[in-house]
């Protein structure tokens, strides 16, 4: 064996129990009792405070490279590693070129080569111009496809009309892939006044619940009519939950995600002029937030992913919601932010792992991760669920430190993460907690 991790608490098959996890050639080779004998190059006994979890999987990350200075593979994957996130799936827009062709995908892969501390996969983009050619991106290895039903903010990534959405869904169904939908209705948004000034209420009114309700129904109808697997990204409005639940009960192939900022923040608490909270769709009220938590508990919402979406820092630091670049920098804090709220509501670490490891991995067809199991990749995270600390801007590893999480007290600490059995991160404040222990079990 190359590595053996021993812990009093290991999450296996949804149950936390003592175990020794042995790793060989980057995969879990054995899961046995804590005192199982293994000869190994490295043997690590985790502290009693830690739980060994599968690495988190974040399937909604905007890395924006090449072509912008907003975020890059080096900084994004550095932030991910220290968050215990061992796999990212990159979104196809905000980079130049957008990932709607094989050439654009290869340009992204070339920039990523040698610059990533965690695994990176890719979604392909669907725009009107590449309908009928999606098989080329599928053959090149994208995990699925993403489209918009409203203006994406990127001139090279226009939205699909209702007819184009159905054509895209049919094409994705033929490929046995998955279609991710940014579900806001262009028609509804076009009737709304644009945001202006420092009040978040103006921004909220510019993207009402009705825009999500209409677009989610269109996506469900496309799934129902074509048999495509459709995934609704970043659900913010609780008003769509009944439609999603009804579709699931009818065996329509639809899944849905929400994001930490919708589970943590509330519109009424957004400070005046604080455009760090600008995101599309918007952060809604506290009562809406509680309904999202209920939907996670009952399975209407399947997972939580970051939607880490960095914009130009100078735009984020302005006070006019009409000028702010929408997007929240959150990749480094997402698991801890969700855990802080989840623990207060009586959820357990197994719930957190299901929402942020197993189900995102399943969405992207990554069957070898998101769980600790024999044969799975040894993508692992040593997580102390009871530690707390305050997010300091100086410790933010994203390219920009502008984030609404700065100054917040979060629960949980990642002591270490491993990607394919190799260390990706060790907490510099507690390095000895994951140091190799010679002689254990040998």
pLDDT in tens, 405-423: 999 999 999 999 999 999 9
The answer to whether position 374 is within a domain reads no
Mean pLDDT of the chain: 95
The answer to whether position 393 is within a domain reads no
User: In the predicted model, is pLDDT for residue 86 greater than 90?
Assistant: yes
Contact yes or no for 169/223 (Cβ under 8 A): yes
Residue 152, domain CATH: 3.20.20.140
- Specify the higher pLDDT residue, 282 or 437: 282
The answer to whether position 80 is within a domain reads yes
The answer to whether position 153 is within a domain reads yes
The answer to whether position 174 is within a domain reads yes
The structure tokens listed for 232 are: 């609704």
The answer to whether position 327 is within a domain reads yes
Burial of 129 (0-12, 13-18, 19+ CB in 10 A): exposed
Residue 90's domain comprises 55-363
Kind and range of the H or E run holding 351? helix 349-353
pLDDT, mean of residues 111-116: 97
pLDDT in tens, 214-258: 999 999 999 999 999 999 999 999 999 999 999 999 999 999 999
Domains held by the chain: number: 1
pLDDT band at 150 (very low <50, low <70, confident <90, very high): very high
The answer to whether position 286 is within a domain reads yes
pLDDT of residue 297: 98
Pairing of strands 51-54, 380-390: antiparallel
pLDDT of residue 313: 63
pLDDT in tens, 20-72: 999 999 999 999 999 999 998 899 999 999 999 999 999 999 999 999 999 99
Q: Angle of helix 241-249 relative to helix 209-226, nearest 10 degrees?
A: 10
pLDDT, mean of residues 128-138: 98
The answer to whether position 414 is within a domain reads no
pLDDT in tens, 256-266: 999 999 999 99
């Amino acid at each position: 064996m190359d590595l053996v991790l021993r812990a009093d608490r290991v999450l296996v098959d949804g149950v936390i129990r003592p175990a020794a996890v042995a790793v060989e050639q980057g995969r879990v080779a054995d899961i046995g009792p804590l005192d199982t004998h293994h000869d190994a190059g490295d043997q690590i006994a985790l502290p009693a405070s830690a739980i060994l979890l599968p690495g988190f999987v974040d399937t909604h990350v905007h890395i924006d490279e090449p072509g912008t200075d907003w975020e890059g593979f080096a900084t994004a994957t550095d932030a991910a590693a220290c968050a215990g996130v061992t796999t990212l799936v990159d979104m196809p827009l905000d980079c130049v070129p957008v990932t709607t062709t094989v050439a654009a995908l290869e340009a992204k892969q070339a920039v990523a080569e040698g610059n990533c501390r965690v695994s990176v996969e890719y979604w392909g983009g669907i725009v009107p111009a590449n309908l009928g050619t999606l098989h080329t991106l599928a053959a090149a290895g994208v995990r699925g496809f993403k489209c918009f039903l409203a203006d994406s903010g990127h001139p090279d990534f226009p939205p699909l009309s209702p007819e184009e959405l159905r054509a895209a869904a049919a094409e994705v169904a033929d490929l046995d892939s998955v279609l991710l939908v940014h579900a806001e209705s262009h028609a509804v948004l076009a009737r709304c006044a644009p945001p202006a000034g420092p009040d978040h209420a103006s921004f909220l009114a510019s993207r009402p619940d009705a825009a999500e309700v209409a677009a989610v129904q269109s996506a469900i109808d496309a799934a129902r009519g074509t048999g495509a697997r459709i995934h609704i990204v970043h659900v913010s409005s609780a008003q769509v939950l009944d439609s999603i639940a009804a579709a699931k009960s009818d065996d329509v192939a639809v899944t849905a995600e929400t994001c930490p900022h919708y589970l943590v923040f509330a519109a009424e608490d957004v400070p005046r002029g604080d455009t760090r909270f600008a995101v599309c769709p918007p952060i809604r009220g506290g009562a809406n937030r509680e309904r999202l938590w209920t939907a996670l508990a009952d399975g209407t919402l399947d997972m939580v992913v970051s939607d880490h979406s960095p914009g130009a820092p100078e735009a984020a630091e302005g006070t006019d919601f009409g000028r702010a670049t929408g997007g929240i920098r959150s990749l480094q804090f997402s698991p801890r932010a969700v855990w802080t709220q989840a623990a207060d509501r009586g959820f357990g670490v197994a719930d957190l792992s299901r929402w942020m490891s197993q189900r995102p991995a399943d969405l992207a067809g990554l069957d070898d991760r998101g769980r600790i199991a024999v044969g799975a990749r040894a993508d692992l995270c040593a997580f102390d669920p009871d530690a707390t600390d305050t997010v300091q801007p100086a410790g933010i590893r994203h390219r920009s430190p502008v984030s609404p999480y700065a100054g917040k007290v979060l629960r949980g600490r990642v002591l270490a993460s491993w990607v394919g059995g190799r260390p990706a991160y060790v907490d510099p404040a507690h390095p000895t907690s994951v140091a190799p222990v010679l002689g254990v079990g040998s």
